[in-house]
Structure 1
Amino acid sequence: MATRSSTLRIGVVGYGHLGQYLVERIIKDGAGLGLTLAFAWNRNPHKLKGLVPDHLILEDLSAFKTRVCEVIVEVCHPQIVKDFGVQFLSHAHFLVGSPSALCDPELNQQLRQAASLHGNTLYIPSGALWGGQDIQRLNDSGALTGVFVRMSKHPSCFRLTEDTLSDWTEGEGRRVLFRGSVAELCPLAPNNVNTMAAVAVAAGTLGFPGVIGEIVSDTALRDYHVVEVEVSGAHGFSVHTVRRNPAQLGAVTGSATYNSFWHSLLGELNASGQRWCHGRFLFL
């Protein structure tokens, strides 16, 4: 079980745009919030040189247990969640930035069991999802009947495991790439559909097989990503939200998601006089 400390020590796994943002915020603003950086890791450690103090660079991820920390934050790729998630939970609380990994039901169960066994918590950040906790409350009340999520982006922003977009041309307009269960969609676009995976976690009774997702390539979306969520419930209840998330061309993650992720990281700091809950699965 992660030990208590007056300062919450954070290990950041991944140093892409989001990882770099989090590391910089922790170094710059963490002291006033009771946070400090325990380590930062990247597949290419040389990328961190000169940007992260040398003593905080973890070159071999398998050596993470040599660093004292209360929370490990993954912001790189679902494969890291598969390879290290259970081990992370044996050492610290774990915030999963690639929840698309949880579409694997066996891994999902293993992570939940590890959290319970070691008295640590598995956290899922809301990311670009708007209204996630409302979906979770509707789910927990037994009134949730359906969820549909559409993510539309410029084609340069997609990272797909198949050649579905290899022939795109500027100005072609809108193209539906896939529509089906989020369970089927996650392996196709593991870096692009973490918002959908967060929906599937919040809508636990439907889960990954029951939440329907659609990804759309649209060359008109040069300045932002669009996330649409349609929720239906008992007795004719329905909600439809549309979120436009500013993003540069080629960016996998919209800029507003960075701040959302930061606040997810801070989400439990002042709750009930405790810093982090123990032995739980929690959606932030």
Structure 2
Amino acid sequence: MRRVGVVGYGHLGKFLVEKIQEHPELELAFVWNRSPAALEGFPKDLVLQDLKDFKERNVDLIVEVAHPDITRQWGPIFLQEADYMIGSPTALSSQELETSLRTAATKHGLYVPSGAFWGAEDIKKMADRGTLQNLKVTMTKHPTSFKLNGDLKTKNDQVKDTKLILYDGPVRELCPLAPNNVNTMAAAAIAAHNLGFDKVSGSIVSDPQMTDWHIVEVEVWGPNGFNVKTTRSNPAAVGAVTGTATYASFLSSMLGAKSKGAGVHLC
């Protein structure tokens, strides 16, 4: 029986907790949420009041679905005791934090979910061989589906009737400006490890007509003119940060986050 702790109890956290409790080979070790009020009525013996007490729960896997700050503060500490699946991989755009986590993952595994990033394993294979030359991920969403910081928020607030490219450039610079929206791009930068956050390109497009979908386009370039482009249409309501298909994808990633040993792994 694999004991799983869930950090974060928003929409995705609730979904995962339910699925863990239904799964015959999983056991919910704890659930923690920044706002304890969200856990009112939840069995008290499963609620972790303070993250520093996580060791007492004898957990095999900790799943973060809260905020990149959790990984900044707790990621290396979690990895000393258990496998850790980072649901907000935009945190890895900090080179210092990525190095710290890789250094900490000597006993347990750091798992990065592919999420809406289609073709992650194929791209990683190209990166392993050194044949991946360029990678670009473009995400198009309704303006209300973006949670942005700085100048990007100002630009997005001005979108009315016509779609607008809010950003087009290195993923490393984009992640801090859209930490809740571009986890797919962060996963791409991990898969494309020969390029990394500085050389993988990301583009986000704010489109008022995008009322039913999030669109994720992945384009890959390799030697001798090799080129592949995929387009994923993820059903999503207006204002939804995460498309509905991502929930099932994340669950599959969580179930696959095991038995790979130390180091960093896509799942």
Q: TM-score normalised to the size of structure 2? A: 0.96
Among 72, 75, 89, the residue aligned to 2:65: 75
Give aligned pairs, total: 265
Find out whether 1:101 has 2:91 as its counterpart: yes
Aligned to 1:4: none
Aligned to 1:276: 259
Among 94, 100, 105, the residue aligned to 1:115: 105
* 1:71-220 matches, cutoff 5 A: 71-116=61-106, 119-162=107-150, 163-165=153-155, 167-168=157-158, 170=160, 172-220=161-209
Aligned to 1:227: 216
% identical aligned pairs: 51
The answer to whether the 8 A contact 1:99-1:194 is kept is yes
Q: Distance in 2 between matches of 1:246 and 1:255?
A: 6
The answer to whether the 8 A contact 2:156-2:206 is kept is no
Find out whether 1:245 has 2:234 as its counterpart: yes
Q: TM-score normalised to the size of structure 1? A: 0.91
Q: Distance in 2 between matches of 1:173 and 1:128?
A: 25
SS of the residue corresponding to residue 128 of structure 1 reads coil
Aligned to 2:4: 10
C-alpha change, 1:169 and 1:148, in structure 2 (3 Å) is closer
Aligned to 2:56: 66
Structure 1 unmatched ranges of 5 or more: 1-6, 269-274
**Residue 165 of structure 1, CA deviation:** 4.1
Q: CA offsets per residue over residues 232-276 of structure 1, 9 Å max, x none?
A: 0011111000001111111111110010010011125xxxxxx52
SS of the residue corresponding to residue 216 of structure 2 reads strand
Among 37, 42, 48, the residue aligned to 2:33: 42
Q: Distance in 1 between matches of 2:27 and 2:238?
A: 32
The answer to whether the 8 A contact 2:164-2:205 is kept is yes
Among 13, 20, 33, the residue aligned to 2:14: 20
SS of the residue corresponding to residue 111 of structure 2 reads strand
SS of the residue corresponding to residue 72 of structure 1 reads strand
SS of the residue corresponding to residue 134 of structure 2 reads strand
Q: Distance in 1 between matches of 2:157 and 2:248?
A: 34
**Residue 173 of structure 1, CA deviation:** 2.4
Q: Distance in 2 between matches of 1:168 and 1:94?
A: 39
The answer to whether the 8 A contact 1:10-1:70 is kept is yes
Structure 2 unmatched ranges of 5 or more: none
